[in-house]
Structure 1
Amino acid sequence: MLMQPSATSTFDRSYLVLAVAMYAIGLVMVMSSSMPVAERLFDNPFHFFIRHAIYIVLSIGIAAFVLQIPMSRWHQHSGHLLILAISLLIVVLLVGRTVNGSTRWIVIGPITIQAAEPAKLFFFCYLSAYMVRRRDEVMENVKGFIKPLVVFGALAGLLLFQPDLGTVVVMFVTTFGLLFLAGAKLWQFISIAGVGLMAIGALAYFSPYRWARVTGFLDPWADPFGTGYQLTQSLMAYGRGELLGQGLGNSIQKLEYLPEAHTDFVMAILAEEFGFVGVSVVLILSMILVVKALMLGRKAIQKEKYFEGFFAFSIGIWFSFQTAVNVGASAGIVPTKGLTMPLISSGGSSMIIMSMALAALIRIDHEIRLQSIQATAGYGKKGGRSK
């Protein structure tokens, strides 16, 4: 049961409970799923566990700093953050490190930055600010609806050069979800969403390796040692987990049968070791976080804090869709996209950015509560109903 914040509390402590729970589950699962591959690569079974623990500590420190930043600063500098996001995506194409055919990482000494992760958060910040400036235009004509799509198109183009279709899909869904919540006309939403879906379909069809993922997803057992290998191994992990799982540490698939077991497919190992119950617990925690973000967005809009409301909405949509794609890919429901499980999977850039987004939610909630407390205090001093 989550803690219920008191009426005089200046922030919602249940966000901290959710974060700590997901950090802890992620830390345990990264340790369990990564020990065999860490032993082979680094002669230290706890290599990825230690690195993940360091990233959690670093994420908490950065989130604590972000928590001190007023939302007005996010709003004021949204354009600068967008420029920074575009700059990072250009830099990674010029000097980024290439792994498995994808150029997604900027290496600065011991620090590795996945440029797509901050690009998502900064773009959503810019989009939220745009919704405030041009809300009437978005609601009334196509021009206001198209403008943010041009910016999205520029970012999507840079991401596809990496290539990183998964991030493009997440940004696409979040963008259209936010435009819809902002009041865009339904026919505009449906028509342009249809064009976007056809474009994503074409990108998959005309790219051999992407199309191989699609066909492998549709029938992974047709080529279990080729295009369907990763998915078949993941499905075997889910199958072995049954209701309660095999127990912590007893996964067979993590013995280097399942590639990326501690990153993109950590939920498969969790399913194998903790079963349906374990997966359900993680999904319930994620669902609570998403629902709280969406409810916070609605509350902010009602308080006429439109930027904060749209930003909370975008974070909620982003978290929910990325969770759905990660779990869906490992369970064979959608094609694999290479997206991390928020706050669970190993991945420093993702962990830090997700923690920053969570800190932004706490800050939004704090400012709304503070405004209400100050309004109540001011009303009392003016001789309202206070005695």
Structure 2
Amino acid sequence: MSSVSLKSAWPAFLDMPAGRLSFDPFLLLSVLALMLTGFVMIASASMDVAARDFGSPYFFIIRHGIFVVMAMMTLAIVSAIPMRLWQQYSVPLLVIGGVSLLLVLVPGIGREVNGARRWISLGFFNLQVSELAKIFMVIYIAGYLVRRLSEVRSTWSGVMKPVLPLSVYVGLLISQPDFGVTVVLMCTVMGMVFLSGMRLFQFIIVLLIGVLMAGLLAVTQPYRVQRLKTFLDPWADPFGAGYQLSQAQIAFGRGEWFGTGLGNSVQKLFYLPEAHTDFIYSILAEELGLVGALIVILLYCFLVYRIFVTGRRAEKQQQFFMGYVCYGFAFIFAGQALINIGVNVGALPTKGLTLPLLSYGGSSLLASAIMIAIVLRIDYELKRATVEGQRGPRRTRKSAGRVEA
């Protein structure tokens, strides 16, 4: 491959002065640390279940290893896409996300698992379309905020217009049903609009409306009401409705300060359902203890912080689309991690949300890789703009010197 074609394919690793990295190393290190921790914990938590259900203890390990490789390839490819293309096609991406959420409800296309229809089968793995829909919604809202920024900051109409596409997405997500992603998406959009400069009293009113809607959605279905009752007292029925929460709390209790040791979990031995997916954090706390659990929380906090830092730099350079995209992705990572960990420790009702970059699941891992790749691309473009701005005055001074000579 020629140097020209290589430069156009992977610009994020080229065209930077010596000694200056073209990507955020701290962001990438936190991502790799979470992914490797997830791989190790999935290997520990899934071997017995895999041996029982598939005849091989390495079934989930091999599959997740393939997902990790796919995620890294996806990260490399997506990081080469210029941000102007994401902004240019934000509306078509929104439509694609809505159509995919609709298709998953069509019998014969959508795949139903445990009473929920959220996946489209792609042969090797099942794609959870809501993971991509979240990304497309963030990109659309970022584009909308750039186009209507003055209107958002001064009028109610500018604040309420994004409610229409968001309502369509929410309706389709509830139909699957996927209450967890619905809450994350609503909070993400509200957070993005608030950071764009909407008035505080408007935000408070919108927040109250959102909380009211979430409450109504929570009590409209009997199984959600049952989850709320179980959340309030999981030990009232520890072998029935409260089984998952009570077993998760036992895992935390067994872990104590430093854990039982990697691979020594008892709860993963068919006591705690979904031990390698939704409740991987409970197994991690049992084997690595409170110290290990807190280190994972710190990694998530650092990851979200680095994304916010990139978004703030984008705003300072007047790149508002890039800034709002970063804020949206930061809210998604923070929201999903907060809800998943909250469910594991018994602070929130049970939701079917994965822990980003750590839980087993190809869709979640690929979606996380796409978001990280876009943030790394934003970081690169901001640094490139800074370097070009520094080169410009130098060229001007050299040219002026030649004319004077």
1:216 maps to 230
2:203, 2:387 → 1: CA distance? Answer: 38
**Residue 57 of structure 1 aligns with which residue?**
69
Gaps of 5+ in 1: none
Amino acid at match of 1:68: A
What secondary structure does 2:339 align onto? helix
Q: Which structure has the larger Rg over C-alpha atoms?
A: 2
Partner of 2:96: 84
1:67 aligns with 2:79: yes
CA distance in 2, matches of 1:244, 1:111: 36
SS of 1:49 mapped into structure 2: helix
Return the alpha-carbon distance in structure 1 between the equivalents of residues 207 and 26 of structure 2: 35
User: C-alpha offsets along residues 132-181 of structure 1, whole Å, 9 cap, x if unaligned?
Assistant: 00111111111111111111110000000000010000001111111110
- Tell me, yes or no, if the aligned pair for 1:114 and 1:349 is still in contact at 8 Å: yes
Question: What is the TM-score normalised by the length of structure 1?
Answer: 0.96
Matched, 1:276 2:285: no
Q: Is the 1:220–1:227 contact (alpha carbons within 8 Å) kept by the matching residues of 2?
A: yes
1:307 aligns with 2:321: yes
Equivalent position of 2:44 in the other structure = 32
What is the DSSP-based 3-state SS (H/G/I as helix, E as strand, rest coil) of the residue aligned with 2:260? coil
User: Which residue of 105, 113, 134 corresponds with 2:119?
Assistant: 105
Give the corresponding residue for 2:32: 20
| Number of the residue aligned with 1:146 | 160
How much has 1:6 moved relative to structure 2?
8.8
Deviation at 1:63, TM superposition (A): 1.1
* Structure 1 residue runs of 4 or more that deviate by more than 4 Å after TM superposition: none
Whichever residue aligns with residue 143 of structure 1, its letter is: S
Pairing 1:254-293 to 2, within 5 Å after superposition? 254-293=268-307
**What is the CA distance between 1:111 and its match in structure 2?**
3.2
**Higher mean displacement: 8-17 or 328-337:** 8-17
Q: Judging changes above 3 Å, is the alpha-carbon distance between structure 1 residues 372 and 278 closer, same or farther for their aligned structure 2 residues?
A: same
User: 1:108-123 maps to which residues of 2 (within 5 A)?
Assistant: 108-123=122-137
% same residue: 43
8 Å CA contact retained: 2:101, 2:129: yes
Please state if 1:342 is matched with 2:356.
Answer: yes
- 1:372 aligned residue (386, 389, 396): 386
SS in 2 for 1:382: helix
Alpha-carbon contact 1:34-1:261 (below 8 Å) kept? yes
Question: Alpha-carbon deviation of 1:21?
Answer: 1.1
Q: Deviations over 1:55-86 (max 9, x none)?
A: 00001111110000001111011111111101
Q: Which runs of 5+ in 2 are unaligned?
A: 1-16
- Give the deviation of 1:16 after TM superposition: 2.1
State the shift of 1:7 in Å. Answer: 6.7
Distance in 2 separating the partners of 1:348 and 1:193? 33
Per-residue displacement from partner, 1:312-346 (whole Å, max 9, x unpaired)? 01111111111010000000011111111110000
From 371, 376, 396, give the equivalent of 1:362.
376
Matched, 1:133 2:147: yes
Q: Deviations over 1:271-302 (max 9, x none)?
A: 00000111111111111110011111111001
Work out whether residues 8 and 373 of structure 1, in 8 Å CA contact, stay in contact via their aligned partners in 2: no
Local SS of the residue matching 1:103: strand
Q: How many angstroms apart in 1 are the aligned matches of 2:299 and 2:62?
A: 24
In structure 2, relative to structure 1, the CA distance for the partners of 1:211 and 1:7 (3 Å cut) is: farther
Aligned equivalent of 2:214: 200
Deviates more, 1:29-38 or 1:6-15: 6-15
| Per-residue deviation, residues 85-118 of structure 1 (Å, max 9, x unmatched) | 0111011000211111100110122231101100
Provide the C-alpha distance between the structure 2 equivalents of 1:6 and 1:381, rounded to a whole number of angstroms: 19
User: CA-to-partner distance for each residue in 1:160-210, whole Å, 9 max, x for gaps?
Assistant: 000001000000111111111011111211112211111111111121101
In 2, Cα distance between the equivalents of 1:208 and 1:369?
52
Counterpart CA distance in 2 for 1:11 and 1:252 is 41
Which stretch of structure 1 is more off in the superposition, 349-358 or 15-24? 15-24
Task: Provide the rounded CA distance (Å) in 1 between the counterparts of 2:123 and 2:69.
Answer: 19
Distance, in Å, in 1 between the alignment partners of 2:370 and 2:129 is 15
- Contact kept, 8 Å, 2:27 with 2:307, in 1: the verdict is no
Amino acid at match of 2:374: A
Distance in 1 of aligned mates of 2:220 and 2:96: 31
With the length of structure 2 as denominator, give the TM-score of the two structures: 0.92
Counterpart CA distance in 1 for 2:92 and 2:67 is 26
Contact 1:266 1:345 in 2 (8 A): yes
2:316 partner letter: Q
Q: 2:298, 2:393 → 1: CA distance? A: 40
